[in-house]
Amino acid sequence: PDIAEERAWIAEYSPYQRLSADAPYPEVFIHTSTKDDRVHPGHARKAAARLEELGHQVLFYENTDGGHAAGANLRESARRLALEYTYLTRRLIDNPQTTEAQGN
C-alpha cells in the first residue's frame, strides 16, 4: 500500500515480508500457473526468488498452461500431483532427519 500505516500493518502478518535468512525453513516446493487468473504467478516467483536470495533451497515449478487449479488437462494435473507426491516422499520418508526422529 501507498499509505505507510497500512504497509506497516500488513508487514506484521505478511509471509513474504517476514521471510528470514535465519529461519530453519525446510526445502520449499512452490508451484504456480502462468495463466492463473486469480493469483498472479508473480507472487510465487517473487517468493521463490526471495527465499533463494536469503540462502534457502527452493523447488519451483510453473505450469505454462492451466489456470487457478494449475491443471490445463489431465496430463498436467497428473504431472503436478506427481511432483507434489515426490516432494512429500523426499521430505517425509527419504529425509534422514525424519528417519532419525522415528528411531530408525
pLDDT at 38: 87
| 80 and 50 Cβ atoms separated by less than 8 Å | no
From the centroid of its chain, how far is CA 88?
13
pLDDT at 28: 93
Q: What is the pTM of this model?
A: 0.74
pLDDT digits (tens, 9 = 90+) for 34-61: 888 888 999 999 999 999 999 999 999 9
Domain count, the chain: 1
Q: Which one of 14-23, 58-67, 92-101 scores highest in mean pLDDT?
A: 14-23
Query: Of 96 and 87, which is predicted with more confidence?
Result: 87
pLDDT at 96: 64
pLDDT bin (cut points 50, 70, 90) of residue 99 is: very low
User: Residue 66's domain spans which residues?
Assistant: 4-101
* Among the listed residues 4, 54, 50, the one whose alpha carbon sits nearest the alpha carbon of residue 30: 50
